[in-house]
Amino acid sequence: MPWQTLLNRRERLPAHPDLGEGFASLLQQLGPVTPFELAVQGGRMMATPGLAFLVGYQAALRMLWPSAPPSLGALCATEQRSLRPADMQTRLKDLRLSGRKDFVTAGDAADWLLVAARSEEPGQPPRLSLALVYPDEPGVSVETLPPLALMPDISHGRLVLEHAACELLAGDGWDAYVKPFRTLEDIYVLSAIGAWLYGVAQDHAWPQPLQLRLLALLAGCAEVSRQAPNNPDGHVLLGGLFAQFDGLKAEVDQSFAAGPLEWAQLWQRDRPVMEIAAGARAKRLAKALASSLN
């Protein structure tokens, strides 16, 4: 990544009431970028941690599916708070999807949706495929759910599919998409949130050692972003980055407390997003560490 661009970038985009239009404005401002550049440069420019999270999420989607359209998208996998294929009821048959996904990040604002669906024959073990649908097509509807206390500026929706036509992506839905996305989302959200914090640190003259440590965190994210998401060594490195991020919490909180109240309130409101997948990360790290010792 051209680090000079990040070091010299000072503009911050205002929050747009329409997430899709806001993302389009960001892409227009950035020009052609890699997913990592999108996460870091875009995260630095966002008005809130929630919007930085959304940029990191979009960057992860583009690593998952390099042919993604240049617009807001979403991965639709969770059903009843579970990602286990055996728990999913959404079905694919003859290029038609039926079922529902209960929690889709920015689903009501997305221009395209990647849907994980069961596709095995009767009596066979659960198997997932990943299909592409568009919200304005027949049989596809997205219900906007009430905002959450965490990141209330990022909407979420419930997807309902009724015999909806779709396009299939190549590869196994679990091994090629749903499972690696957990890792990709961790990498790119950490990158985007770290860049947002670095931008706040620049704007409000936080202590220089803290600014440098935030920059070092982003440099580490750049290296981990080059690792395959199924590489145990990459998972160990990613665990180190989250440990590094956790180690900055006290200094970050002190710096926010010494600055404008509105920025401190934004961070207090949204920082728990970094803890959402902590349990899954811990299990993945323990497995990776055990693998690296053999």
In the predicted model, what is the mean pLDDT of the chain? Answer: 95
> Mean pLDDT throughout 4-16?
85
pLDDT band at 124 (very low <50, low <70, confident <90, very high): very high
- Higher-confidence residue of 242 and 294: namely 242
Separation CA 71–CA 107 (nearest Å): 12
> Mean pLDDT throughout 79-92?
93
pLDDT digits (tens, 9 = 90+) for 143-175: 999 999 999 999 999 999 999 999 999 999 999
Beta bridge partners of 156: 105
pLDDT at 14 over 90: yes
What's the pLDDT at 22? Answer: 97
pLDDT at 45 over 70: yes
What's the pLDDT at 123? Answer: 86
pLDDT digits (tens, 9 = 90+) for 247-287: 999 999 999 999 999 999 999 999 999 998 888 899 999 99
pLDDT at 92 over 80: yes
> Mean pLDDT throughout 108-124?
95
What pTM, to 2 d.p., does this model score?
A: 0.96
What's the pLDDT at 293? Answer: 64
> Mean pLDDT throughout 2-20?
87
Domains recognised in the chain with CATH numbers: 3-64+176-292 (no CATH), 73-168 (2.40.110.10)
What percent of the chain has pLDDT above 90? 90
Complete DSSP assignment for the chain = --HHHHHH----PPPPSSHHHHHHHHHHHH-S--HHHHHHHHHHH-SSHHHHHHHHHHHHHHHH-TT--SS-EEEE--BTTB--GGG---EEETTEEEEEEEEEETGGG-SEEEEEEE-PPTTSPP-EEEEEE-TTSTTEEEEEPPPPSSSTTS-EEEEEEEEEE-EEPSS-TIIIIIHHHHHHHHHHHHHHHHHHHHHHHHHTT--HHHHHHHHHHHHHHHHHTTS-TT-HHHHHHHHHHHHHHHHTHHHHHHHHHTS-HHHHHHHHHHGGGGGTTHHHHHHHHHHHHHHHT-
What's the pLDDT at 133? Answer: 98
> Mean pLDDT throughout 55-81?
96
What's the pLDDT at 1? Answer: 65
> Mean pLDDT throughout 106-119?
96
pLDDT digits (tens, 9 = 90+) for 177-222: 999 999 999 999 999 999 999 999 999 999 999 999 999 999 999 9
